[in-house]
Copies of this chain bind each other. A is one copy, B any other.
Amino acid sequence: MSYDRVAFVGLGLIASSMFWAMRRAGMGAHVTGYARSEQTRATAREIGLCDTVCDDLASAVRAADLVVLCLPVGAMGEVMAELAPHIKPGATVTDVGSVKRAVIEAVAPHIAPGVHFVPGHPLAGTEHSGPRAGFAELFDNRWCLLTPNGADTAAVAQLSDYWQALGAKVEEMDPDHHDLVLAVTSHAPHLIAYTMVGVADDLHRVTNSEVINFSATGFRDFTRIAASDPTMWRDVFLTNKDATLEILGRFTEELFALQRAIRTGDGEMLHDYFTRTRAIRRGIIDAGQDTDAPDFGRKKR
């Protein structure tokens, strides 16, 4: 069973991609959207994003069977408090936040009896943000993790079907485990990339034009990661503090061991380490989660 009316709260990369993926899937649902910024709403109207773009939160969610919170994690609680009275009984509320425990703590207290709250996280994104950044293929073959946390199983199943229709693969997970897994596979790597790009920007013996021109493989990828939305990522780190700090602690410990091997000239340790990490790459390609094309196919330009 699919939803008759879907409301997007927040109209950035994820909401707009969800909308185009719904259209691609031929879903007949009526889609409403709301964004706090007047400019975002104007852009959404201009590009035909949503059937109706509403100027207030209440109108956007009032009739919805599914309300999708597409907001920075830090904004979820406040917005949910404001829209809670307007959600109809039997509706499902979900979100797309990169952190799950903090979202549950912020949102769940505002969920009325008879409304289903099924937190979610599509593992998909680009370094671009805003309503124009979306595209229908964003979720294809990507995972969407749901952390139902005791929600009604029929509501969970319906949301799972919906995500699969958008192209995603769905798995359920405990919220705390989700936050740890993502700290490893996404949050710590992002912080590290931001840090490395910041170091380059600061190093006055190397000019920024040298950093830019001679950004070989390696740094170039870091700059892409470090171009992601600052508000979204600030909120991720502040709300997944413990897991991120734990992983960064492990990372630093390991980095020091490798630094020591460089300092002492322990080539065997370095070679063994670099050989081991190759296997994980192979696994990711075999699992269809990345392309094996050299240089991401950049050479084809």
Chain A positions near chain B (C-beta within 8 angstroms): 74, 123-128, 133, 135, 137-138, 140, 143, 145, 171, 180-182, 184-203, 205-206, 208-228, 230-231, 233-235, 237-238, 241, 244-245, 247-248, 250-252, 254-255, 258-259, 262-263, 265, 267, 270-271, 273-284, 287, 289-291, 294-301
Contacts and interface: CB of A to CB of B under 8 A. Distances in A.
A132 to B, nearest CB: 11
Contact of A296 (B190, B216, B280, B296): B296
A265 B238 contact: yes
Contact of A184 (B189, B195, B203, B279): B203
This chain: copies in complex: 2
Nearest to A300: B137
A301 B193 CA distance: 26
Given A238-B267, A250-B199, A255-B195, A124 B280 contact: no
A217 B200 CA distance: 21
A226 B277 contact: yes
Contacts of A235: 267
13 contacts: A125-B216, A125-B217, A127-B217, A138-B299, A145-B214, A181-B211, A185-B211, A192-B255, A195-B254, A213-B289, A221-B222, A227-B277, A252-B252
Nearest to A142: B216
A263 B241 contact: yes
Nearest to A193: B218
